[in-house]
């Protein structure tokens, strides 16, 4: 069965005539008959009764007509849907983001994008870096912004924006107001960490090892799944943590939290744009990517 056969079948059913259907489909009457015969042979059913009043649908033909009508309607909508897709009208764009990008980077890009692309609806799916990469590979999102790179032949990465983590403490903590503490002093404090698999957790652990400190030497009492949860826990004096400076800038400016440097601990990193290797992006994704890159290239140039 193919669409041409269905088209011919529908023409015969609606005209009640093989000859009239041939005129409408610009085919010979014998070709029309061949298409219908092929369908009858494939399904093992007689689809039309050839009578003196014309070609009348059998009960099996009526059932095929019911489903074929839906199929042809869908087929007619395909050009419209693809034209809208190409023209960025009535399109849904799904983007993945790890915790920091989805909370602090991607939302800033939405207003300028929607100004020029009002027909595109955006969905941002948030998770840790591994979870977000999994969504990208399963094609649940078209592109992703994450805080770590993973060796994976299915994914290509490009640098998007720099970031730096800092030790974050609550007001009144003995380290609040100090410019820096030593790596050795870290062993004396209670810590809150992000969940394993997050870009923040991977960056902190790698930085500690480079500084000669095993992560299990620290007194880690709590693991939390988002930066917001970690910030609330710090403000509740449940411990201190390492967080992206981007995510705590407002709280530090308002005095709710304080950032402290750790001597000899380099916690700089990059956020990466991740795409499926060898796959073409949709026009909507290309347009959003243009806004994303333009925004962060402009920031980097300042």
**Cα–Cα distances in Å, from 65 out to 12, 55, 69, 256?**
10, 13, 6, 68
The lowest-confidence range among 45-54, 80-89, 139-148, 224-233 is 80-89
Please name the CATH architecture into which domain 91-160+270-301 falls. Answer: 3-Layer(aba) Sandwich (3.40)
Euclidean distance between the first and the last CA atom of the chain, given in angstroms as a whole number: 61
Reported as a single tens digit per residue, the pLDDT across 238-259 is 999 999 999 999 999 999 999 9
Reported as a single tens digit per residue, the pLDDT across 112-158 is 999 988 888 899 999 988 999 999 999 999 999 998 888 899 999 99
The lowest-confidence range among 32-46, 64-78, 196-210 is 64-78
Check if the beta carbon of residue 133 is closer than 8 Å to that of residue 152. yes
Q: Would you kindly state where each structural domain of the chain is located, as residue ranges?
A: 3-86, 91-160+270-301, 164-268
Tokens of 229: 């949860």
Reported as a single tens digit per residue, the pLDDT across 59-75 is 999 999 999 888 887 87
pLDDT computed for residue 109 by the predictor = 92
State the pLDDT confidence band at 83, using cuts at 50, 70 and 90: low
- 164-268, what's its fold? D-Maltodextrin-Binding Protein; domain 2 (3.40.190)
Would you say domain 3-86 falls under CATH 1.10.10.10?
yes
Which residue has 């994704």 as its token pair?
Answer: 285
State the pLDDT confidence band at 300, using cuts at 50, 70 and 90: very low
107 Cβ contact partners less than 8 Å away, ≥ 6 residues apart: 124
Q: Do the domains 91-160+270-301 and 3-86 match in fold?
A: no
How large is the average pLDDT for residues 172-179? 92
- Distance in angstroms (rounded) separating the CA atoms of residues 37 and 49: 12
pLDDT computed for residue 82 by the predictor = 66
Check if the beta carbon of residue 68 is closer than 8 Å to that of residue 38. no
Check if the beta carbon of residue 259 is closer than 8 Å to that of residue 168. yes
231 has a pLDDT exceeding 80: yes
């Amino acid at each position: 069965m193919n669409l041409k056969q269905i088209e011919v079948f529908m023409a015969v059913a609606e005209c009640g005539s093989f000859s009239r259907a041939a005129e409408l489909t610009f085919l010979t009457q014998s070709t029309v008959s061949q298409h219908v015969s092929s369908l009858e042979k494939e399904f093992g059913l007689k689809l039309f009764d050839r009578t003196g009043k014309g070609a009348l649908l059998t009960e099996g033909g009526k059932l095929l007509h019911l489903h074929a009508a839906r199929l042809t309607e869908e087929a007619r909508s395909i050009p419209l849907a693809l034209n809208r897709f190409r023209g960025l009208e009535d399109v849904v764009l799904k983007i993945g983001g790890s915790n920091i990008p989805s909370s602090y980077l991607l939302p800033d890009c939405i207003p300028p994008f929607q100004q020029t692309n009002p027909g595109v609806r955006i969905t941002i799916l948030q998770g840790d870096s591994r979870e977000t990469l999994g969504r990208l590979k399963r094609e649940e999102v078209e592109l992703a912004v994450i805080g770590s790179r993973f060796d994976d032949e299915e994914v290509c990465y490009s640098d998007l924006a720099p970031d730096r983590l800092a030790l974050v403490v609550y007001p009144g903590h003995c380290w609040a107001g100090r410019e820096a503490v030593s790596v050795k002093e870290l062993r004396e404090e209670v810590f809150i960490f992000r969940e394993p698999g997050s870009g923040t957790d991977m960056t902190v652990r790698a930085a500690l090892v480079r500084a000669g400190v095993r992560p299990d030497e620290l007194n880690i009492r709590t693991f939390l799944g988002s930066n917001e949860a970690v910030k609330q826990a710090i403000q509740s004096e449940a411990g201190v943590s390492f967080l992206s400076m981007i995510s705590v800038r407002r709280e530090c400016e308002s005095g709710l939290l304080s950032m402290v440097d750790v001597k000899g601990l380099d916690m700089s990193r990059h956020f990466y744009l991740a795409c499926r290797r060898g796959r073409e992006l949709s026009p909507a994704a290309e347009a959003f990517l243009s806004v994303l890159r333009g925004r962060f290239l402009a920031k980097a140039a300042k």
